[in-house]
Amino acid sequence: MAATDGPVGFVGLGMMGLPMARSLLRRGWRLVACDPSGAARAALAEGAAPGAARFADTPAEVAEACRVVVLMLPDSRVVAQVMEGPGGLIAVLRPGQLVVDMGSSVPSETRRLAAALAGRGAAMVDAPVSGSVVKATSGTLTIMVGGNDQAFALAEPVLRGMGETLIRTGPVGSAHAMKALNNYVYAAGLLAAVEALRMGERLGLDLGILTEVMNASSGRNVATETKLRQEILSGRYQGGFQLGLMRKDLETAAAIAAETGFPARQLGLCLEVWNGAVAALGAKADNTEIHRHLGGGPERR
């Protein structure tokens, strides 16, 4: 049925965007995609049904061809450039069109762009994702969705081509806020777990048993369950989420703290540690390498 509903625009074929776009193709959608990387365009075209994927040179060309346009871009700065810069979306949007921002953007900027779209009779929803590249590849992401009922009804069939669970979060901008706050809680839990490992190491404790104790007790969180034994104690450090992306989400949470006037002290400390880790290891290091940054771990491979 999806193949009869017209093409979907897709801007941004990066680490997450490419498998998400492929998931839509597998489920019968036709795409008009835009990305400056020739390798990314070739990767999307490879294996696609004849005519299922075509490419545009600018975001504006995507909007001219598609009622629904998905953005999977690095941050709000790039989203604003794609929306408002030369060859951008906003100048050509028509009443009834929808832009779906699936990246991790700053909520206040999302609300600003949504207002600009509304001025042209178009709508915007924010739909950031939770899940790794593996879940993007299988089309089983969890997707948070902010927007009104009409916009959600238009976005829902497309989102279900990429995600298994959709959680409506409220008005536009709320999903980006909840994603950032969730990722702050994850980062804080990971940092606490790693600090506990380092202290346990200095005491000469069996770190495997310490991990077992945390997972059977009140210290349990997603980091202790899915990262400590699998990625950190093993020395693999391949959790699938980059340090730089983690820092970006913490910066977004910090922007929310500033906007609301809430003195989030632990958030400030967490961001300070992540800034140091990115400076020491590079933005593309895995987020579990925060353990290495705190000292004494195996050398990065």
Dihedral sign of CA atoms 165, 169, 170, 171 in order: negative
Q: Name every residue whose Cβ is closer than 8 Å to that of residue 157 and which is 6 or more positions away in sequence.
A: 2, 5
For residue 54, the cross-strand partners are 32
SS3 294: coil
The tokens for 154 are 């238009």
Rg (CA), the chain: 20
Phi–psi pair at 11, nearest 5 degrees:
-115, 115
Q: Of residues 179, 227, 248, 284, which has the active-site annotation?
A: 179
List helix spans (H) across 71-132. Answer: 76-84, 107-118
Annotation says 179 is catalytic: yes
Q: In the 8-state DSSP scheme, what is residue 289?
A: G
Q: Could you give the residue numbers annotated as active site? A: 179
